[in-house]
Amino acid sequence: MTGKNDDFKLTLEEKSSLVDGTDGPCGGNIAPIPRLSFKGICLQDSPLGVREADFVTTFPPGITAGASFDRAMIRERGLLMAEEFRAKGINIAWPVAGPLGRSALGGRNWEGFGADPYLAGIAVSETIAAFTEHGV
């Protein structure tokens, strides 16, 4: 199948739904396009685990995981989070926050793994690798 096939031409409404989103259970929802067998996409952001869902785990925040300096534990946290995201039908997750541009005076620093760029780089890398391993 190629992009030149008339069956794969999107209508203006379908194109709009891809960039505008739709209502649904996730933080971001891209509507399905049944005639193309496209099931839609569920996007979710949360550094603590799946949000706004029943029977889910609240994981330790990134700042707590980073304070452990335990690479294996950070990877395991990522694997467990990814497993739960996948089980809830989430296709794309934004589970990590890097410290770039964060203020040491407060704000949302708890989402990241710490102010040290090396520590944050390792922790972000381990978490993303864990999610990728689970296909999220």
pLDDT in tens, the chain (136 residues): 455 666 668 899 888 888 888 888 888 999 999 988 999 999 998 888 888 888 999 999 999 999 999 999 999 999 999 999 999 999 999 888 876 655 666 667 778 898 888 999 999 999 999 999 999 9
The whole-angstrom separation of Cα 86 and Cα 105 is 35
Other Cβ atoms within 10 Å of 114 Cβ, number: 19
Query: What pLDDT shows up at residue 5?
Result: 67
The whole-angstrom separation of Cα 129 and Cα 95 is 12
Query: What pLDDT shows up at residue 1?
Result: 45
| pTM, 2 dp | 0.81
